[in-house]
């Protein structure tokens, strides 16, 4: 085993898709869109790699031009693509992003099915995870009766047995689900796997039947989580443990595209946690630093178009923290 292979790694599993981002209009008013790499777990893996962490992505793309583009782009950002594969049974999943004038977004997905849903149990080898690693996942890879859900269960079981930390961002995407109630049940079903939970404030009511952050955090603690991050969009973020609470305000920026802000936040948190004793990461002083760092990473991302291209390098985050 090489020194690099001994270094704790951040593994992100799930959807890798092509985001079509609007960039203007044709003379006849037709919306012009540019393909950009995306998918929340893939974005998070790139965000972590750009911040200097060892990151690896577990997912599947189509054996097509977009799939080859996605693999090359992710690898180009320094993410290990050993566990990223191709399929001929479905095309690379696509998402069409519509932006409001202030940069907020909505999604239309071409995924019935998409290649990311074809990730199977066989794509998750035994022995992949070790103590000290982090496994990140979201709800988009938990679609009922799909191979990718079984792949997630296998990965989560392996990671838990190995003593890896598990990071869960539910990342609610209602258009991907036929039954919103089933999405909620699936999120709650997988909460007990998580050591770290990240949720946005606009997801609280759907998942936890409350808009009170502390109540939602307490629910997560009751399921076994050790720390809960709540992102508040332009209003900043907060972090909760059973014995502490810290919040940080928003950073004033001109938003070009909010796609990937939460993923950059996740990548930043994981880049701070990886390689350090978890107990030390949860000390209030360290959590405060992590929260400010991740909040700055998310704020920087919205100033650029494209989730991966927009996520920051270390000097970008520190420039925001200095300002």
Q: d(Cα 256, Cα 310) in Å, to the nearest integer?
A: 10
* CATH assignment at residue 281: 3.40.1190.20
Predicted local confidence at residue 4, as pLDDT: 58
Angle subtended at Cα 282 by Cα 48 and Cα 214, rounded to the nearest 5 degrees: 100
Q: Which residues of 143-165 are buried (b: 16+ CB within 10 A; e: fewer)?
A: beebbbbebbebbbebbbebebb
| Whole-number Å distance between alpha carbons of 67 and 148 | 17
Task: Note the pLDDT of residue 305.
Answer: 81
Number of domains in the chain: 1
SS3 207: helix
Render pLDDT for 36-77 as a digit per residue (tens, 0 to 9): 899 999 999 999 999 999 999 999 999 999 999 999 999 999
The mean-pLDDT minimum among 115-129, 194-208, 307-321 falls in 307-321
Q: Is 29 exposed, middle or buried (0-12, 13-18, 19+ CB in 10 A)?
A: exposed
Bigger pLDDT: 98 vs 199: 199
Per the model's pLDDT, the better-predicted residue between 40 and 5 turns out to be 40
| Structural domain span for residue 58 | 3-322
Q: What is the mean pLDDT of residues 125-147?
A: 95
Residue 77 near residue 55, CB atoms below 8 Å: no
Output the pTM of the full model.
0.94
**2: confidence class by pLDDT, cuts 50, 70, 90:** low
Query: What value does the mean pLDDT take over residues 140-150?
Result: 95
């Amino acid at each position: 085993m090489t020194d690099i292979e001994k270094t704790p790694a951040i593994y992100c599993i799930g959807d890798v898709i092509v985001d079509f981002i609007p960039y203007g209009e044709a003379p006849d008013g037709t919306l012009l869109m540019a393909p950009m790499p995306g998918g929340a777990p893939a974005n998070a893996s790139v965000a972590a790699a750009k911040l200097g962490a060892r990151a690896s992505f577990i997912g599947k793309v189509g054996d097509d031009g977009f799939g080859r583009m996605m693999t090359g782009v992710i690898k180009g950002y320094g993410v290990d693509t050993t566990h990223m594969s191709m399929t001929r049974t479905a095309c690379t999943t696509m998402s069409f992003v519509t932006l409001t004038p202030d940069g907020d977004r909505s999604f239309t997905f071409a995924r019935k099915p998409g290649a990311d849903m074809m990730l199977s149990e066989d794509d998750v080898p035994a022995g992949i995870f070790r103590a000290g690693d982090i496994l990140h996942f979201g709800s988009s890879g938990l679609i009922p009766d799909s191979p990718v859900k079984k792949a997630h269960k296998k990965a989560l079981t392996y990671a838990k047995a190995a003593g890896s930390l598990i990071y869960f961002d539910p990342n609610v995407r209602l258009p991907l689900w036929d039954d919103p109630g089933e999405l909620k049940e699936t999120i709650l079903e997988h909460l007990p796997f998580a050591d770290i939970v990240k949720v946005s404030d606009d997801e609280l009511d759907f998942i936890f039947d409350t808009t009170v952050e502390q109540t939602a955090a307490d629910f997560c603690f009751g399921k076994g989580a050790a720390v809960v991050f709540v992102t508040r969009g332009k209003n900043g973020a907060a972090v909760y443990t059973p014995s502490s609470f810290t919040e940080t305000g928003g950073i004033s920026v001109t938003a070009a595209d909010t796609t990937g802000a939460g993923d950059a936040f996740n990548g930043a948190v994981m880049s701070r946690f990886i390689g350090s004793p978890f107990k030390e990461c949860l000390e209030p002083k360290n959590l405060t630093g992590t929260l400010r760092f991740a909040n700055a990473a998310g704020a920087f991302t919205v100033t650029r178009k494209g989730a991966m291209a927009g996520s920051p390098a270390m000097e970008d985050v520190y420039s925001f923290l200095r300002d």
